[in-house]
Structure 1
Amino acid sequence: MGSRLTEEQAAFAAAVRDFAKRECGTREQRDALTGGGREAHHPELYRRLADLGWLGVCLPEEYGGAGGGTADACLFLEETSYGMVPCGGFITTVITAKAYERFGTEQQRQEVLSGVVRGDVLAIAMSEPGAGSDVGALRCRARQQRDGSWVIDGQKTWISNAHCAESILLVARTGEDKHGGLTMFHLPAGTPGVEIRGIETMRGREVNDVHLTDVRLPADSVVGEVNGGWKQLMAGLNHERLFLAANMLGLARRAFDDAVAYVREREQFGRPVGSFQAIRHRVADLATEIECTRLLVREVALDCDAYPEKLFPREASMAKLKATELAKQVTLEGMQMMGGYGYTTEFDMERHLRAAVVSTVYGGTSEIQRDVIGKTYGL
């Protein structure tokens, strides 16, 4: 993240890089930790990150966190992504934890945030078979009983890390108003009536269907206000999009460095392919785009920390749009520069590509980000 890092942040980034190099620095190490690239999260390694105190990087000190800010969390996400550390559970955890921090009761914060610091994974369940970008169309229903408890029925889909989460932040319909009838619920793992089924994707198992049948939750499971879920979601989208941007910035940097290392060594027609103008110019363009994106993500993160009461819908959507589209571009061009080798599982580029292409879909598609940005200009 460059010269604007504090000394403490620079030391933190260096420590994360050292950990990644030591634990995940070789292809053999990464394959062993990820089942040949099919698992994005390694529980034992994740607990070691917790022991180092890094998982609570942006959580309050009273819950065991480090008391850092958004910029610190983005730094951690960028460096672990660059180092290919299989801690895929962190991205949904930090997004969900911020919702509990803002809207949860003291008891919920004590339970959930302290658990995150110790290594618990969290998931958030919004999307449904008929409600993706249009979250207000969700139909999973929570009905309040006479004693104040809730009964929930419905299905969620594309839920990242639900299979390894200690709890899920569930968004369900509690009223008829499209946006004013949504409520957040704390759903602990193992709750009767919850069935989690993995969805096979080209990245292996990372997302899940979550089926809820006659699920009963106590009255105090509500996170925030009844029928206040939409406003609470909107308040958290800026952090979500920024965290996703930092994650993909790290991936773009890694794919770029891998491609450059290859074209420096690979020879054709008697010289390294990187010495040809067509490749040099491609590398120059990608390097410039990465630097622009790094500055954008960093600046938005610093603004979020400087003005915690403000929302940054335009800037956060710009960061998410730019970083995810860049990651896709870098991995595609990296594959092109590496030729057939970029397509083989012998090299990491095809793994980078599989991680990058879906990033323009989750957390709000690129089309949604453009729509959000356009609306901030009154269009």
Structure 2
Amino acid sequence: MVLTDEQKSFISAVRAFCAKEAGTIEQRDALSDDRRAKDNVELTKKLAGMGWLGISLPEEYGGSGRGLVDELLFLEETERALLPIHGYSTAMTMGGYYLSFGTEEQKQQILPGIPRGMYGSIALSEPEAGSDLAASGCKAVRDGEHYVLNGQKTWISEAHLAEYMLVLVRTDSSGDKHRGLSMITVPTDLPGIEVRPINTMGAHIVNDVFFSDCRVPASGVVGGEGNAWSLLTQGLAVERLYIGAMSLGLAQRCFEDAISYLKQRQQFGRPIGSFQVLKHRAADMATELEAMRALLYDVAQMIDLGLVKDANRQASMVKLKATTLGRDIAIECMHMMGGAGYTRDFEMEFHLRTALAPPVYGGSSEIQRGIISKSLGL
């Protein structure tokens, strides 16, 4: 894909901002609480002030009214720069459901906050319902103008920061498990919600969420009661492209950091990057990155131009390839850097810890392969 002059200028502006705000290890450590947090609220607000959040949201909801390509360019570039703003993509994923399926009242309630830096969360998984979301059991029982929620959600990104959660709940247990699911808006300041952080090998992103007789307005149901499965099958494609763009940005950062090290590190009287075995590894990675970038933006451009009605197959390909590539490049770069790759001085160990998660969340690689193979009639 050939970038327009406007897109090139946008990337340059984002890159300059990132260099100023997070151009050193010390800055990045300070912004991320020494790598323990994946979100910095103040930095997110700064980006909102630049008008860079909600890029693909319509102008009537405070967005920039630009396309998916521009949104992905931003996500790739900010992830490459290691900005701790993971919650932005989560909020955009949540917002996408309101944009596509919400009432006008719901859109006005949720969407304008995202360009201003509001955090949002989407709560799908449960202890016994991860890849099998149709097995979700978190119950919502109608009581007049409210639903009463009881149950647990797990692995919920940014629930500790979110103003709203879009929660997958079971509103009917009498028939087909796919048809008894609904999506409902839950303001996080309601009584009956408990959020507990999940300790992982990476920065704090995910949480357990417990609902105990939490009364939620019935007007918050998105897409109609019992229609969640249809929403999920249509709404997850863009999330996978978001994850793909961020995985590509991280892979690019790993590659650039490793190349810099290969040029500086001396052994046997010359830079180690001059040895054929490392030159060829670098060439392979550079080729894979370019191929991945072409796939990502080709799919995004087709969506922007309305050339595809159902991008689930292509989005799954992007998610599968980009997250696998991000993980593999992080591992390869660590090996190429030798012992230095394991030290915090060069950040590669942090890159690797970050790269291990995307092949699992947002639909595991195995789930993506299942979607792709089904599209082939297998």
TM-score class normalised by the smaller sequence: over 0.9
Write the deviation string for residues 337-361 of structure 1: whole angstroms up to 9, x where unpaired: 1111101111111111111011100
Report if aligned partners of 2:341, 2:349 keep a CA contact under 8 Å in 1.
Answer: yes
Deviations 1:237-276 (A, max 9, x none): 1101111100100000010000000011101111111111
Rounded to whole Å, the distance in 2 between the matches of 1:72 and 1:181 is 37
After superposition, where does 1:1-379 map in structure 2 within 5 Å? Answer: 4-145=2-143, 147-176=144-173, 177-307=176-306, 310-379=309-378
Deviates more, 1:188-197 or 1:101-110: 101-110
Ranges of 4+ aligned residues in structure 1 off by more than 4 Å: none
What's the offset of the Cα at 1:149? Answer: 1.5
Structure 2: segments with no counterpart, 5+ residues: none
Deviation larger for 173-182 or 29-38: 173-182
Task: Give distance in 2, aligned partners of 1:144 and 1:162.
Answer: 24
Does the Cα contact within 8 Å between 2:302 and 2:308 map onto a contact in 1? no
User: Which AA in structure 2 matches 1:18?
Assistant: A
Q: TM-score, normalised by structure 1?
A: 0.98
Q: Distance in 1 between matches of 2:367 and 2:306?
A: 25
Amino acid at match of 1:274: G
Cα displacement string for residues 133-174 of structure 1 (whole angstroms, at most 9, x for unaligned residues): 1111111011112x2311110000000110011111101011
Distance, in Å, in 1 between the alignment partners of 2:235 and 2:74 is 19
Q: Specify the code of the residue in structure 2 equivalent to 1:96.
A: M
Does the residue aligned with 1:4 lie in a helix, a strand or coil? coil
Equivalent position SS for 1:200: coil
Unaligned runs of 5+ in 1: none
- Residues 317, 309 of structure 1: alpha-carbon distance in 2 compared, 3 angstrom cutoff: closer
- Range with bigger deviation, 122-131 or 167-176: 167-176
The CA deviation string for residues 313-338 of structure 1, in whole angstroms up to 9 with x for no partner, is 21111100110000001100010011
Offset, 1:309: 6.9
Paired residue type of 1:164 = L
Superposition RMSD on alpha carbons, in Å? 1.0
Aligned residue for 2:213, secondary structure, equals strand
Q: Which amino acid aligns with 2:131?
A: S
Deviation at residue 236 of structure 1 after TM alignment: 0.9
Aligned with 1:205: secondary structure? coil
The secondary structure found in structure 2 opposite 1:94 is helix
TM-score by length of 2: 0.98
User: CA, structure 1 residues 254+292, in 2 after alignment: closer, same or farther (shift >3 Å)?
Assistant: same
How many equivalent pairs are there? Answer: 376
CA distance in 2 between partners of 1:223 and 1:315 (Å): 26
SS in 2 for 1:197: strand
CA distance in 1 between counterparts of 2:295 and 2:256 reads 20
Aligned-residue offset at 1:204? 2.7
8 Å Cα contact 2:140-2:150 kept in structure 1? yes
Q: Is the 8 A contact 2:234 2:312 kept in 1?
A: no
Aligned partner of 1:75: which letter? Answer: L
- Checking the alignment, whether the CA contact within 8 Å between 2:88 and 2:117 is kept in structure 1 is no
- What letter is aligned with 1:315? Q
Partners in 1 of 2:61 and 2:6 — Cα distance?
21
Secondary structure (helix, strand or coil) at the match of 1:325 reads helix
Q: Deviations over 1:288-328 (max 9, x none)?
A: 00000000000010111111771112111110011000000
What amino acid does structure 1 have at the position aligned with 2:154? T
Following the alignment from structure 1 to structure 2, what is the Cα–Cα distance between the partners of residues 122 and 305?
A: 24
For residues 109-150 of structure 1, the C-alpha deviation after alignment (integer angstroms, 9 at most, x for no partner) is 1121111111101110000000101111111011112x2311
CA distance in 2, matches of 1:306, 1:171: 31
In structure 2, give the amino acid aligned to 1:197. Answer: R
Structure 1: distance between partners of 2:112 and 2:300:
24
CA distance in 2, matches of 1:309, 1:209: 36
Q: Which amino acid aligns with 1:296?
A: L
Further displaced range: 171-180 or 46-55: 171-180
